[in-house]
Each structure stands twice: as structure tokens, then as C-alpha cells.
Amino acid sequence: MIGLMRIGDHARGMALGAVLLAGASFVVAAPALGADAKAGQAVFKSQCSICHAVQAGRNMTGPSLFGVVGRKAGQEAGFHYSAANEKSALVWDAATLDRYLTNPRAVVPGTIMTYPGLKDDAKRADLIEYLSTLH
Ligand code: HEC
């Protein structure tokens, strides 16, 4: 899947541009520059696992996040979502997850996910990289 470019990370953006100009087009399909799924798993365990399982169909306080990347919002069977989430019409691609996980209530006003958001760009990129392995 297409890697996530961290918003505001100009140095990396310029580096990516330079690589692209050099014609190394494979970079486009590579994971986010520097994003680390293993580090993301640790972030998940400390920040998300209290409410979310990664096993398919296992809903806790929050819905299972198995296969969440690429899924439409509010689709996990048997989980009672807020109307705000269900009607958001969002698709959890990497860019949308990046905005959502920075500040959930800004992206889905009225969500019942009380998590305040993860402001650290690098940790968020690692986390999304990890979420994208859950298939
Ligand atoms: C305090 C519990 C809690 C924590 C901590 C939490 N969540 Fe949630 N999460 C929820 C709940 C509840 C919902 C359902 C939101 C709704 O219906 O409005 C949700 C929804 C979501 C969704 C939307 C899923 C869908 O099927 O539409 C994603 C993605 C998500 N959470 C990711 C995360 C990630 C990643 C973390 C860790 C950074 C996290 N959450 C931390 C409780 C939590």
C-alpha cells in the first residue's frame, strides 16, 4: 500500500522528492519512510489494546481492528457504533487514519471513542504501519 507521508515533515518530503526525481519509482509503493510496524505494535499495546483487539471479530470497548485499513467506518459486525461514526462515510485509509488518530473528535465529532489522540507524528506513522499488517 502507498506509504503515508508525515504531514509537516518537510525534510523527509524533500528527500522523497529527490528520490522520485532520481527515477526510483519503487519508493512510491514502499512503506512510509522510516515507519516501523514493530514499533507500531508497541504503541498499539500501550495506547489502544485496552479497548481494541486485533483478532477478527473480537469486539471490546472498541471494535476489532483486524482489517481496519481500507475498511469503511462502522462496519464491524456486532459492534454498536455511535451514529457519528456510522454516518461519517469515512474509509480508514492511511491518510484518514492519520488525521483521525491525531484527534478523533475533530474528524468524527460525537464519536464515543474517548481516546484523546496521538500527537507524535513518528509514533502515529509506526502505529498505522502496524495496523496495515492486520489482514
Ligand atoms: C478508551 C477506549 C479506546 C481507546 C483507548 C482507543 N479506542 Fe478506538 N474506538 C473506541 C470506540 C468506543 C470506538 C467506536 C467509536 C464510535 O462508534 O464512535 C473506536 C473506534 C475506532 C476506530 C474506527 C473503527 C471503525 O470500524 O469504524 C478506529 C480506526 C480506532 N478506534 C482506532 C484506535 C487506535 C489505533 C487506538 C490507539 C491509538 C484507539 N482506537 C484507542 C475506543 C477506544
Counting the structural domains of the chain, the total is 1
* 3, 132 contact by CB (below 8 A): no
Report yes or no on 85 lying in a domain: yes
Tell me the CA–centroid distance for residue 115 and ligand 1, in Å: 7
Mutate to test the pocket of ligand 1, among 51, 85, 121 (most ligand atoms within 8 A of CB): 51
Q: Please indicate, yes or no, if residue 14 is contained in any of the structural domains.
A: no
pLDDT digits (tens, 9 = 90+) for 39-55: 999 999 999 999 999 99
pLDDT digits (tens, 9 = 90+) for 57-70: 999 999 999 999 99
- CATH number assigned to the domain comprising residue 52: 1.10.760.10
**Ligand 1 mean position, distance from CA 37 (Å):** 19
pLDDT digit string (tens) for 91-131?
999 999 999 999 999 999 999 999 999 999 999 999 999 99
DSSP-derived letter for residue 72 is B
Domain for residue 77, yes or no?
yes
Domain encompassing residue 47:
35-131
Q: For residue 82, give Cα distances in angstroms to 16, 75, 85, 88, 111.
A: 39, 12, 5, 10, 6
The C-alpha angle with vertex 129 and arms to 14 and 114, in degrees rounded to 5, equals 110
Please give the model's pTM, rounded to 2 decimal places: 0.82
